[in-house]
Amino acid sequence: MGMNIAQKILSAHLLEGEMKAGNQIAVKIDQTLTQDATGTMAYLQFEAMGIDHIQNELAVSYVDHNTVQVGFENSDDHRYLQSVAQKFGVVFSRPGNGICHQVHLERFGIPGKTLLGSDSHTPTGGGIGMFAMGAGGIDVAVAMGGGAFYMTSPKVVNIVLKGALRPWISAKDVILTVLKHFSTKGNVGTVFEYSGPGVNTLDVPDRATITNMGAECGVTTSLFPSDEKTRAFMVAQERGDDWIELKADTDAEYDDSITIDLSTVEALSAAPHSPGNIESIADLSGKRVDQVLIGSCTNSSYRDLRTVAEILDGKKVASHVSLGVAPGSREVLTMLAKEGYLAKLITAGARILESACGFCIGNHMSPKTDAVSLRTSNRNFEGRSGTKSAQVYLVSPEVAAIAAITGEFTDPLTYTEMEYPAVTMPKRFDIDDSMFIFPEVDASDIEIARGPNIGAPPVNEGLTTSLKGVATIKVGEKITTDHIMPAGARLKYRSNVPKYSTFVFEPVDPDFHIRAAANRDAGIHNIIVAGDSYGQGSSREHAALCPMYLGVKVVIATSIERIHMANLFNFGIVPFMFADTADYGKIEQGDELEIADLPTAIREASTHDGIVMLKNLTKNIDIPLSADFSERQIGLLLAGGLLNYTSSQQGEF
Ligand code: MIC
Ligand code: SF4
């Protein structure tokens, strides 16, 4: 039987397990990437593992998330990251060099390789045929140390593209069409693999927009074939030698398949407050816009920003609109500058922002109260922009640029001011690697620089007793990691877990941390109760690490998203699912809960029916929880997390 691309790459990297959808497998990781917001903890954990040099093919540390440097904390993190990179053989991408996913695609990504990144948008690499996945920082630290990555063998859905996009419609509209079909939940353990004649109509930067935002569906990754378009991109990056052809066999099988006719794709938007809440731009036409922000790892390529510059050329931004443009990389910014497009943007009235994540993570450019903000980024969770009442709509660069001029949502298909500026990918990008610091051969006298904000990673205790606790918080469905562990103004505390923990659940229940810490100090276990799709969104392991620090031992949800689930195991928090989803209604916040002899209950569940009984002492009822854990996952829970587990395995990851 023939193989699809996902099967080809995974089977070439398989270390343990059988590749059957749903099985636990271990794979070899070729490349890793980290960014500053997750990276400090990842390298602190790498240090705690006691390995003196990276063991994988390539590790790159990017500084792109928090570059605002208000106070000393960020700058100290950057200094730590630079020194630790030099010490352990990691390539360091300096602040200003660009957003990790854009830069990695440009300078390091290789078709057919595996990439693990401590950021949920790592699947951007799927645009050139890499099997690229997001994970928590500690999983990336293990992979840097040469350890395997444990994952669920995915099912593979074939997304067949046919036809070609109409002028003014672009890759963002394709991924929004995919989101409309698949939504943001129910896709855990799936890979989206693109095929069909329409693939050939998309260049790598377009493909990368699509694989990037597949993350919002909750899939493991998304993949395009590596073909002549991929070769053209690699050659334009002067990396033609890294190209290989990669395509599915003609008799490849898939678990499911859908077809999208590109010629019927409309201009779309993800309306507040979810990337899966899709509306057509035609329906939104005429709605007044206050802010337009163009950039982020989804839409900040040379193609995207030159298109924006051409649309804005000779025009002015509407007086009530604030327009910001953040190029995805220094390469993009340099090319825009040298070719005169930057001047067009500035003349039109755009505010040029640093090549970094910035606005996307709510780090600056928060909109005014109740503002309508149009963004080309990938997430519009409530409050992520820094303004809770803001209405954030996710759109294509074309829609964003036109709205900046007209001051309102405008259907690009009805925009008659100009011909569509069909920008094609350049034959050569402007390459300058001088903002990377490549590791030195002899790192023996490199001192690791640590500021006062950087603390050792806290460690958990193993599971030894009965669970006796309280439902400290009960939340609804689609609780994102931005709800659990906000970024934005709080981002600078990523290296200071005691301080950052005081913001756990801040947007939904600012007093949670006080109740949780009081319970912890009184020896009462904290339990989180949640609905569907708990832990959507980012890979930030602080959404498990900080609750762990506050004494959370168990999460009970109707469903939990992939990366967050792995992070819970990694920090020794037991992730239970309601065996019957209707039982979600049988626990209220404040209820006292108990599981007798938790370690034995979990072990026995794995060999029996996968069920653990929870007693709701307040209501005097029993609630069955599903606990179908693998041997390794049980090991992680009993050890109190991955750091303890790896040391108990004596360096055997
Ligand atoms: C995000 O887009 O939410 C982030 C910020 O890039 C996160 C990582 C983080 O929280 O540091 C992600 O996507 O994993
Ligand atoms: Fe950065 Fe935003 Fe992309 Fe996350 S989604 S990596 S914050 S640009």
C-alpha 513/C-alpha 528 separation (Å) is 12
8 A C-beta contact, residue 305 and residue 326 = no
Q: What is the mean pLDDT of the chain?
A: 96
| Cα-to-centroid distance, 483 and ligand 1 (Å) | 12
Q: What is the CA radius of gyration of the chain?
A: 24
C-alpha 138/C-alpha 541 separation (Å) is 8
CA-closest candidate to residue 325, choices 310, 308, 337? 308
8 A C-beta contact, residue 484 and residue 543 = yes
CA distances from 138 to 51, 161, 197, 400, 576 (A): 14, 36, 40, 37, 21
Q: Give the dihedral of Cα atoms 312, 316, 318, 322; nearest 10 deg.
A: 70
Closest ligand 1 atom, residue 563 Cα? 14
Q: Is 152 helix (H, G, I), strand (E, B) or coil?
A: strand
Tell which one of 40, 67, 121 to mutate to probe ligand 1, the residue whose CB is within 8 A of the most ligand atoms.
Answer: 121
At 331, which amino acid appears? E
Neighbours of 523 (CB within 10 A): 9
Q: Rounded to the nearest 5°, which phi and psi values hold at 426?
A: -70, 155
- Mean pLDDT calculated for residue range 471-481: 97
The ligand placed nearest to the CA atom of residue 378 is 2
C-alpha 404/C-alpha 461 separation (Å) is 53
| Cα-to-centroid distance, 537 and ligand 2 (Å) | 11
Does 648 score more than 80 pLDDT? Answer: no
Q: What SS3 string covers 460-504?
A: CCCCCCCEEEEEEEECCCCCEHHHHCCCHHHHHHCCCHHHHHHHC
Dump pLDDT digits (tens) for 278-309: 999 999 999 999 999 999 999 999 999 999 99
The ligand placed nearest to the CA atom of residue 355 is 2
Closest ligand 1 atom, residue 485 Cα? 10
| Cα-to-centroid distance, 287 and ligand 1 (Å) | 30
Does 651 score more than 80 pLDDT? Answer: no
Give the per-residue pLDDT at 653: 46
| Cα-to-centroid distance, 326 and ligand 1 (Å) | 17
DSSP-derived secondary structure for 71-126: SHHHHHHHHHHHHHHHHHT-EEE-TTSB-HHHHHHHHT--TT-EEEESSTTGGGGG
pTM: 0.97
C-alpha 648/C-alpha 86 separation (Å) is 28
Dump pLDDT digits (tens) for 603-642: 999 988 999 999 999 999 999 999 999 999 999 999 999 9
Dump pLDDT digits (tens) for 330-367: 999 999 999 999 999 999 999 999 999 999 999 999 99
Closest ligand 1 atom, residue 121 Cα? 13
Give the per-residue pLDDT at 108: 98
Q: Which residue's CA is the nearest one to ligand 1's atom 2? A: 538
Helices 302-312 & 204-214, crossing angle to 10 degrees?
100
8 A C-beta contact, residue 260 and residue 290 = no
- Mean pLDDT calculated for residue range 576-586: 98
Q: Which residue's CA is the nearest one to ligand 2's atom 2? A: 360
Confidence of residue 120 (pLDDT cuts 50, 70, 90): very high
CA of residue 452 relative to chain centroid, distance: 28
Give the per-residue pLDDT at 208: 99
Confidence of residue 650 (pLDDT cuts 50, 70, 90): low
| Cα-to-centroid distance, 617 and ligand 2 (Å) | 43
Ligand 1, residues at Cβ distance < 6 Å: 37-38, 65, 119-121, 134, 361, 379, 487, 537-540
Q: Is 448 helix (H, G, I), strand (E, B) or coil?
A: coil
- Mean pLDDT calculated for residue range 146-172: 98
8 A C-beta contact, residue 378 and residue 385 = no
Dump pLDDT digits (tens) for 426-451: 999 999 999 999 998 888 889 999 99
Tell which one of 97, 296, 329 to mutate to probe ligand 2, the residue whose CB is within 8 A of the most ligand atoms.
Answer: 296
Dump pLDDT digits (tens) for 394-427: 999 999 999 999 999 999 999 999 999 999 999 9
| Cα-to-centroid distance, 126 and ligand 1 (Å) | 18
C-alpha 400/C-alpha 265 separation (Å) is 17
Q: Which residue's CA is the nearest one to ligand 2's atom 3? A: 297
Domains of the chain: 5-264 (3.30.499.10), 275-414 (3.30.499.10), 467-648 (3.20.19.10)
The ligand placed nearest to the CA atom of residue 384 is 1
| Cα-to-centroid distance, 216 and ligand 2 (Å) | 12
| Cα-to-centroid distance, 215 and ligand 2 (Å) | 11
